[in-house]
Amino acid sequence: MDVKEIERLVKISKERPLMPETYIPWHEEPQPDNIFLPALLTSLQGLAIYDTLTPAQKLELGRHELVQVIFSYGWGECMFCLFMTRHMLTLQPDNVEHKFLIRELIEELRHQEMFTQVISKLGGSPLPQTRMHKFFGMFSNKYLPADYLFMGSVSVELVTDIYGNYVRKNPQVYTVLRKMFDLHTIEEARHIIFTKSLLAEYSAKAGYIKRTMYSYVILMNIYFIRTMYVKKEIYERIGIKDADIVYKLAYNNYKKKFSENCLKDIIKFIDEWKGFNRATRWAWRWLLDAKV
């Protein structure tokens, strides 16, 4: 790991912290022409039913799905904090990895508080994770070795980064959300640099089997993130009839869009250490519709 570079990141984190309390203009309310999620990222855009929705329904769809997105981030980050805390106990406090993880933990806790505050600002009521999500989340968090968990975290960060960029660059999105994603993207960029640098050693040493396992861990993490968004209950909330049928259509629609819009960086990352091979490629195509 590049010790000097990591120390530089720790320094930035200490000297230029971005505090959600002051960075986000919490007093600003949504304007009449604001949206909460770019249409491209909603699960229904691209389907014929989307064009039959009223503007109010489209707005509500974006609000509920955005809430679901940040609720899932918060959950994933909380899970990662659990791991980081345990992992830090195995390191010496003067170790650069330990120093960085303390900063990352502080920032991730601030993010979770910020996400919760945004959810309440939007009057959101997120739907809880399914039992399967909870089981796999807790299981992998507890039993996977550190390198696998870091692989999982960087993959989720790379995907959320792309998501954040779509929101930040769209001036129609409610200011509070744009600032929230601004803050998040800036701080996550440091986490990504750190984790990639940490993982460079692991992946350089990894043989075929280990690279295959890394690839699967990343695949499952992303698959989980993706499936936490599309919810039948949201369609019921916005008054769509036949929510069951719409759910099935939306599931495939979102799978396709997610593959087109959100996987580029992660595919590049996995390619760097040859994580696509005969044993993994088919699963990426099957579960995520990835063009690999």
Smallest gap from Cβ 107 to Fe ion, in A, equals 7
- Dihedral over Cα of 35, 39, 41, 43: its sign: positive
Window of 54-62, 101-109, 133-141, 263-271 that interacts with Fe ion by CB under 5 A: 101-109
Q: Rule CB under 5 A: is residue 178 a binding residue for Fe ion?
A: no
Window 50-79: contact mask with Fe ion (x via CB under 5 A): ---------------------------x--
Smallest gap from Cβ 9 to Fe ion, in A, equals 12
Smallest gap from Cβ 142 to Fe ion, in A, equals 20
- Determine which residue in the list 58, 111, 211, 226 makes contact with Fe ion, applying CB under 5 A: 111
Please spell the DSSP secondary structure of 127-190, one letter per residue. Answer: PPPPHHHHHHHHHHHHHS-HHHHHHHHHHHHHHHHHHHHHHHT-TTB-HHHHHHHHHHHHHHHH
| Contact in structure between 159 and 266 (CB atoms under 8 Å) | yes
Q: How many residues bind Fe ion (CB under 5 A)?
A: 5
By beta-carbon proximity to Fe ion, the closer residue of 192 and 234 is 192
Distance CA 167, CA 172 (A): 9
Dihedral in degrees, nearest 10, Cα atoms 252, 253, 256, 261: -140
By beta-carbon proximity to Fe ion, the closer residue of 41 and 159 is 159
Distance CA 37, CA 120 (A): 16
Q: Rule CB under 5 A: is residue 110 a binding residue for Fe ion?
A: no
Smallest gap from Cβ 108 to Fe ion, in A, equals 5
Smallest gap from Cβ 77 to Fe ion, in A, equals 5
Q: Rule CB under 5 A: is residue 191 a binding residue for Fe ion?
A: yes
By beta-carbon proximity to Fe ion, the closer residue of 108 and 147 is 108
By beta-carbon proximity to Fe ion, the closer residue of 80 and 247 is 80
Window 260-289: contact mask with Fe ion (x via CB under 5 A): ------------------------------
Q: Which long-range contacts (CB under 8 A, 24 or more apart) does 284-289 make?
A: 284/215, 284/219, 287/219, 287/223, 288/219, 288/222, 288/223, 288/226, 288/255, 288/258, 288/259, 288/263, 289/255, 289/256, 289/258, 289/259
Smallest gap from Cβ 229 to Fe ion, in A, equals 17
Measured at the alpha carbon of residue 124, what is the angle toward residues 119 and 127, in degrees to the nearest 5? 105
Residues that bind Fe ion (CB under 5 A): 77, 108, 111, 188, 191
